[in-house]
Copies of this chain bind each other. A is one copy, B any other.
Amino acid sequence: MKIGLLTSGGDCPGLNAVIRGAVLNGIISHDDEFVGFRNGWRGVVEADFEEIVRHDVRGLSKQGGTILGSSRTNPFEGEGGGPENIQRMLDDNGIDAIIAIGGEGTLTAARRLVDEGGINVVGVPKTIDNDLAATDYSFGFDTAVQIATEAIDRLRTTADSHGRCMVVEVMGRHVGWIALHSGMAGGAHAILIPEQPKTIDEICEWVESVVDRGRAPLVVVAEGFTLEGMSEAHSHKGLDAFGRPRLGGIGELLAPMIEERTGIESRETVLGHIQRGGAPSAFDRVLATRLGMAAVSAVHDQAWGQMVSLRGTDIEVVSLQEATGALNHVPASRYDEAKILFG
């Protein structure tokens, strides 16, 4: 078969390992051919692709980023968009199926292409935040947690040396997994996640109890955390140099609030993009490689509208409907467990 690959959405460690796993499995086990669409769905709607041969995936498992490029283009928009145009493009180029590697948006689009247009698409879940419900873990998440944990390890010595409160903002727009795991691993004194809004008073209480025990408080906050009872006036982050509302994060808001209320010197660090680039951890390389290999098997099983996922130690196939139906929130039990360590 001739299979087209695409990577869509934000950078995520392991994308290239998925591509390598898929291409090697296809070439060696099934004598498949591969093309790579450039820049996600944009390459599909613009028929912009190139052949991928075995040599192209050499040494790729440890390489960050994606050799295919990425974009946030929607396959239903533009001149070449929509199921009919896409099917025609595939036919014209003899491409039998698409493996779409992406997050919620990409997988939802993939499902619609299958449902509405009968396009042969198989999905590979990509979410560094680990917010997809139908997989135990997604590649990239382990790497992000490791990077955040190493940063927390470093920040702790500064906190201790100066008796300061350090606030670390990590990724996690809708779910708090990165904050939960890096906070547990780094021994944080407070973990703040989108699923568990807290008042500034609760947070300050935690911070003060840490100082009372003679330690320097370390607060890990997910970017999507919201303060309970926070008025709109305070929730924006001020104006930037051009008078526009700033896009600053919750970390930049929290540190001065904690300092103002407790009198404890507080500093924030926003880890930002360093969590999503660079070489994947060994865990993510193995997971991504296996998902890529399994996606090719799914293509040969004609599992259209399905995606590959991790369950325990096995790679399974689940419907995209199930996968995109609900977010993988941090359950209250897991938060309560972590809270014992700091609460």
| In the complex, the 7 A-B pairs of residues with the closest C-beta atoms, listed nearest first | A154-B278, A65-B157, A64-B157, A154-B277, A149-B282, A185-B285, A185-B282
Chain B residues near A242: list those with CB within 8 A.
238, 256, 260
Q: Is the CB of A270 within 8 A of B270?
A: yes
Q: A47-68 interface mask toward B, CB cutoff 8 Å, 1 = contact, 0 = none?
A: 0000000000011011111100
Q: Is the CB of B286 within 8 A of A185?
A: yes
Q: A159-195 interface mask toward B, CB cutoff 8 Å, 1 = contact, 0 = none?
A: 0111100100000000000000110111100000000
CB-contacts of A315-343 with B (<8 A): 337, 340-341, 343
| A153 interface residue (CB < 8 Å to B) | yes
Q: Is the CB of A282 within 8 A of B146?
A: yes
Q: How far is the CA of A256 from the CA of B333 in the complex (A)?
A: 41
Q: Is the CB of A136 within 8 A of B313?
A: yes
| A29 interface residue (CB < 8 Å to B) | yes
| A131 interface residue (CB < 8 Å to B) | no
Q: Is the CB of B181 within 8 A of A145?
A: no
Q: Is the CB of B153 within 8 A of A278?
A: yes
CB-contacts of A269-300 with B (<8 A): 269-274, 276-278, 281-283, 285-286, 289-290, 293
Can you list 24 A-B pairs with a CB-CB distance of less than 8 A?
A11-B162, A21-B341, A24-B341, A25-B341, A28-B343, A63-B157, A64-B157, A69-B161, A70-B162, A71-B162, A136-B312, A146-B283, A149-B285, A151-B274, A153-B277, A154-B274, A156-B277, A157-B278, A184-B290, A185-B286, A238-B238, A267-B272, A281-B281, A283-B283
Q: Is the CB of B282 within 8 A of A155?
A: no
Chain B residues near A311: list those with CB within 8 A.
312
| A158 interface residue (CB < 8 Å to B) | yes
